[in-house]
Structure formats: C-alpha cells, structure tokens
Chains A and B, each alone.
Chain A
Amino acid sequence: MRAAAETGRTPPLEEAKIPWLRRNRPYLILLPAFLLTAGILYPFGVAIYYSLTNFSFKYEKHSFVGLENWVDMFSDPGFWHSLWVTAKYALLSTGVEMVIGVGVALLLNRESRLARSLRIVLIFPLMIAPVIATLIWQLMINSSVGVIGHALRGIGIVDFTWAADPDTALFTVVLIDAWVYTPFVILLTLAGLRSLPKAPFESARVDGGSAWFTFKNLTLPMIMPFLLIALVFRLMVSLQEFSIIFALTSGGPGDTLMTLPLTAYTEGFTYKELGYALPHMLVLWLNVFFASRILIKYWSRAQERASGV
C-alpha cells in the first residue's frame, strides 16, 4: 500500500482504501504556498474587472464602461509609442547584456589569478537595487561633482546631455541597466561553462580544431540552455523595468522614455485614471506571457540537444 502511494499510481479498486488525507497529501502541502501567491490571481481578476470600468481616484463612484478604455488605449498614439519604446529598451539592454555577458564569462573561465579574483567581485553590480544604481550613475555623470563629468571635460567633451536629451536618454538608461544586469548573464554563462564535460573538448583539441570551431560547435550548443535562461529572464524583466526610468527621468524628456510600465503608472497614479491604466498593463502581461512560453519551449528543446551532444 505504501509503495503504491509513493509512486502515485494506485490500482482503481484499492484507491478507496487510501485515506483522504494521504491521497491529497501533495495538494495539502502545497496549499500554504499556493495561498500566499494565489493572492495574485485575485488582483489579476480585479485588474481585468476594473479595466472595464472608468474607475478613477478622482471620483467616488465608478461605473461599468465596457471596452471603452481598451478602445481609447488602442487609438491613443501614446500607447503605440510606449510599445515601441518598451521594445527598444528591452531588446537593446538584453542584447548588450547577452553579448558582453557571454564574452566576459568566456574570459573569466580560465584559472588565472586575475580571473579567479574577478569572478568573486564582478557580481557586485547585480546586488545593487536599480534605483540605487540610478542614483550612483546620476551622481557620476553630474556635471559639477561627477567623476565622469570631470573625465569627459578632460578629453574635451563638455556637457554631454545624458538623460536630458531625447537622443541620449535611451543610451543612458540602457547603460545603467547593463551595468546592473550584465553580471546576471555572466553568472549563468559561467554556470553553464562549468558544467561542460572535458572529453569532447580534449578530443577537439587533439584533432586540431580552431578556437572558433570549438566554440561554435561544442561550447555554444552545450551552454545554450543556460544562455536561454539568461535571455528569458533578462527579456521578461527588462520589458517591465520601471525603477530605472522612473528614478532617472520619470519617462522624460517629454515622452522619450515612456515605456508601458511608465505609462501605466502615470495614467494610474499621476492622472489618477486607474481604469484607463490597467489595459496597458494587461497588454504588457500578455506580451510577456506569450514570449516566455515560446522561449521556454525553445529552451527545453535546447536542453535536449545539449544533453545529446
């Protein structure tokens, strides 16, 4: 009886004999965890409900307005603009972080003294809250006291506009984002590199394969699962990134950096139109949801391929 319960497959006739408590044991054990987080399902439902109302902090009552908020949102050019900005920001920062992250990880995968000591300290930026990182960078690029301001003046660049100018604002936030999150990619890539078996590489070296060949056909496929995890995480998180832009410019200058989260915040808390703000977030969530499903399917396929090599 016990063995049957342990494997979870019981012959139909005996099922009734297993006490209810034991049969539903897994669900019961999971219940607390579920209660804690299923609190999410409730707000999610609430979000959908309120997105169909004209709920606003300005007025006492709200009424059901159907799809009006959604129609307004889709016909608002600001919405499409924020979709574009969100995509730009997410793709740029993720791309930069992946490229630099993998590169640095490869460099760190040696046993030189430099690599070993650097491995320990290079995750520090990841530990810093993005708001604090923004604070730090703002201080550094400050024209009067910032060290970068000084350095740039030293080589003749006066008044680089950083966050104040629409052209350079995106560069600035991507810079801060990359500073914080590249170590994440490094960490995961290193974990992947560490898990590689020695044998294929030794035989490749014996056979005389070039470094690039080894990388492309051996290393890359085998670390692909790790790279994909890094990619999924980074993409998902940067699509929703709020603190860096909020802390730096609150979406400005103008609406240059108004990503979807920023727009939702502004609509909901600055203009106080909560009902109008919610569809923005639901759209973002849908994007994140579908993108993550696709990427995770990609990932499990890469897993299989990696273990088959």
Chain B
Amino acid sequence: MLKWLRNLALLAYAAFALFPLLWMLIISFKHDREMYHTIFLFSPTLENYRVLFEKGDYIGYFLNNLWVSAGAVILSIVVGVPAAYALARFKFRGRESIAFTFLSFRFAPEIMVILPLFLIYQRFGLYDTYLGIIWVYQLLTLPLIIWVLRGYFEEIPPEIEYAARLDGYSWFRVFLKTLVPLIKPGLVASALLSFIFAWNSFTFPLLLAGQNVVTTTVAALQYLSSDTVHYGQMAAAVTISILPEVLLALFIQKHLVRGLSFGAVKG
C-alpha cells in the first residue's frame, strides 16, 4: 500500500517537472494553423524548425551563447584550478577570508553589480563585447569551480605529490598525471554546472550587451512581448536552446552528484 502511494507521489512530481518540456517538444512540431484546434493529435511538421534555421538569427544567438559560456568556463578552469590548489595546499595569511571572498562573489546580487558595471563597461568599451560578457560570467563560474576543487585538493594527501616528485617528475607533469585524474569528478561536475549557469544567464547579457552579443535567453524576450506570436516557432526556439544542457546533463549525470558531494560539503 505504502509503496503504491510512494510511486504515485513520485510520478505526480515527475509529471509536474517533465510535462512542460515534453509539451514544448510536441508543440514545436505543430504547424501554426493547427495550433488552436488540436491538443495532442495533429500532423507533425518540421516547418517551425525550417523557418528558424532559414531566418538565421536564432542560430547566431545560439552560437553567441556557446562562445561566451564555453569561453567563460575555460577561463575559469585555467585560472581557478591553480587558485584552488593554492588555497588547499599553502597556508598563508588571509587564506580563509580570500576563500570566503571568492564565494561571496557568487552571492553578489546581479542587479547591484550590473548597475555600476553598466557605466564602467560603457566607459572602457567593454559594452556589447564577447570579452566583456566572458569576464562578467567569471562571477558565476569561478567561485563554484574554486570551491569544489579546493575540497578535492584538500582530500589528496601531499605524500602523493612528494612521491611523484621524488621519482623525478617535473612539477607540471606531476600535476597533470597524478593530480588531474584525482580531481576529475569535481572538475567535470563544477565545470558542467558553471557552464549551465553561464548558458542560462539572463540579466548580464540583457544589460551589458546590445545587438552584438545576443544570447538565447535575451532573444527569448522578443518572443514574450511580440504580438503576432508563432507559438510553434517559439516552442522550436525553446527546444533548441535547452537541447545542449539536457544532453550534457544526461551525458555526465552520474558525475554530478558524486562530484559535488565529495568535495563541497567538507568541514
């Protein structure tokens, strides 16, 4: 009896969580003229996707999103891995407050940061540039990567490094061959999550970028406020914009829980 109730509750939540996405997918194949009469039974068409690809704008938005998100994550990894290592290995004055400062960047209200950043970006010509957006995205991506990887580095006993060094390897090789494989779950998990944060970011590209760097999230706005709505196209656009994340999530699903819990919640 209890088991049946349990499964029912789970299914109810699953329906709540997944149905909207499924419905989006379904609608994206529905032609505009059938939009108002039918619900689930209709003749599917690729028309919406065709229009989307032909008009060309949307592909540009998608690629923009890709460049800035990937760029931001890569930059964060290059800068963050050494930073996490330093925070884990070396004891130095101000270590904990520096660590907390990095964390606090994640909590800075976006709007508060944006208002002055808007002025600064205008003055230094960073407004509406890819570099500007990638830099701002560091606020989203860097803290998570540093935080998670620091935990991982702390878990690795220094003896491993000493042993490898004694064997005569250079510091860089030690890093690559021994340390990186050990932090891989955390790296993958935090990099993926950071990518998603960057991909989904709305307020930063909205206010710090204009016509040049339009991301899919900002582009969504024009669908929300337009009068002549092509619902099918909207659904197709939405489906395309969420496809990368969904695929990524499926792909490395098992890393996510393991990678985050291992390092993140240590004392």
Which residues of A are at the interface with B, using a C-beta cutoff of 8 A?
6-9, 25-27, 29-30, 32-34, 36-37, 39-40, 42-44, 46-47, 50, 100, 103-104, 107-108, 110, 112, 114-115, 118, 120-140, 142, 144-145, 147, 150, 179, 182-183, 187-188, 190-192, 194-195, 225-226, 229, 236, 239-240, 242-243, 247, 261, 264-265, 268-269, 274, 277-278, 281-282, 284-285, 288-289, 292, 300, 303-304, 307
Contact = CB atoms under 8 A, between A and B. Distances in A.
Interface stretch (B44-52, B53-61, B74-82, B176-184): B74-82
Contact of B21 (A36, A104, A124, A145): A124
Interface string B72-102: 0001000110110111011110010010001
A150 B10 contact: no
Contacts of A282: 112
Contacts of B256: 123, 187
A140 B234 CA distance: 12
A120 B250 contact: yes
B85 A29 contact: yes
Contact of B234 (A124, A135, A242): A135
A112 to B, nearest CB: 8
Contacts of A269: 207
A46 B120 contact: yes
Given A25-B90, A47-B115, 14 more contacts: A26-B95, A29-B83, A33-B82, A36-B138, A46-B120, A110-B6, A124-B246, A127-B196, A135-B224, A147-B39, A179-B16, A192-B261, A242-B202, A278-B112
Nearest to B257: A191
B174 interface: no
Contacts, number: 249
A132 B200 CA distance: 9
B63 interface: no
- Consensus secondary structure, chain B interface: helix
Given A136-B238, A242-B111, A124 B249 contact: yes
Contact of B27 (A34, A139, A285): A139
A40 B139 contact: yes
Contacts of A182: 17
B188 interface: no
A229 B106 CA distance: 14
A127 B265 contact: no
A147 B40 CA distance: 9
